[in-house]
Amino acid sequence: MVLVLTGCLASCTSLSSSPTVSPSPTSSQNAAADAPAKITEIQQQPVLVRQLRAKQEVPATAGMALQVGEVIRTQGKARAQIDLKNGLAFRIGGDSVLTLQPSNQLNLQSGEMITWVQPGQKVPTEIVTPTAIAGIRGTTVFVKIPPKGSKEGTLFFAWEGTVSVHLPNQKEEIFLKTGEEVRIRPGERNLQKIRQRIYRLKPAEWKAKIRQDKLLHGFNHRLPTLDIIEKIAPGKSASKHPPVP
């Protein structure tokens, strides 16, 4: 994914009659201004960042710049929101590990995340997981990787809009519409069987999910696409398969 930050310059007024020369920005300030993303909010700690060429992680702070190739990690109940300059943004939950990658790719190695594009914008984006890749444009998608040792597959859920999902090294896609979810287990290759497991939430399940989701809510700033999500009423027809917890 392509990401960005905004910087600010402080101006000062001299009391002297002679002109003053403002100091030139340091290389670190330049790097922050050019960064494609920044951490805009942290809910609980620890949230850690592995910066480029660094041997150890450093504690994350709100306003911290993130570069392509850097890794953000949360522990326990920690949650964080990251905004990109191109209109893309995401939130990660506890025990998540995510790497920012070029070409609008977010590599989620563990944990859970909700990703969205600012309403009215289209930012081709991919969420890469060990089992499958989700492609989004102007939409909101939730992805959750189960803990190690779990037999459950990675969960893909479309909060609003259409989400495409394809397996590694395959071009054929499956599509999730608003209110639909599917789990894909490691090593699966049969798209027909995966399509048969797609489940559309019933209206009551949909409303409960909106109320309970800690990434949808649980932050000081309102999710920009929440107004859209709250107005949606997914179709009453539902798959015979039970919802995924």
The residues spanned by each domain of the chain are: 27-231
DSSP 187-205: T---HHHHHHT-EEPPHHH
Residue with tokens 């330049």: 30
Reference 213, options 70, 116, 83; nearest CA is 116
- The contacts of residue 136 (CB under 8 Å, 6+ apart) are 115, 117, 124, 125, 126, 127, 161, 163, 164
Residue 135: its H or E element: strand 133-136
pLDDT given for residue 241 in this prediction: 41
CA 169 to chain CA centroid, Å, is 23
**150 Cβ neighbours under 8 A, 6+ residues apart:** none
Which of 71, 90, 70 lies closest to 80 in space, CA to CA? 90
Q: Are the C-beta atoms of 107 and 133 separated by less than 8 Å?
A: no
Going 54 to 60 to 65 to 69, the CA torsion angle's sign is positive
Render each residue's pLDDT in the chain as its tens digit; 245 residues.
333 333 333 333 333 333 433 444 444 444 566 788 999 999 999 999 999 988 899 999 999 999 999 999 999 999 999 999 988 999 999 999 999 999 889 999 999 999 998 888 888 899 999 999 999 878 999 999 998 878 889 999 999 999 999 999 888 999 999 999 999 998 899 999 999 999 999 999 999 999 999 999 999 999 999 999 998 876 543 344 444 43
- Residue 154's pLDDT is 96
One CATH from 2.40.30.10, 2.60.40.1480, 2.60.120.1440, 3.40.50.300 for 27-231: 2.60.120.1440
Spatial separation of the C-alpha atoms in residues 65 and 213, rounded to whole Å: 27
CB 141 within 8 A of CB 180: no
Integer angstrom CA distances of residue 169 from 130, 141, 188, 189: 12, 22, 12, 10
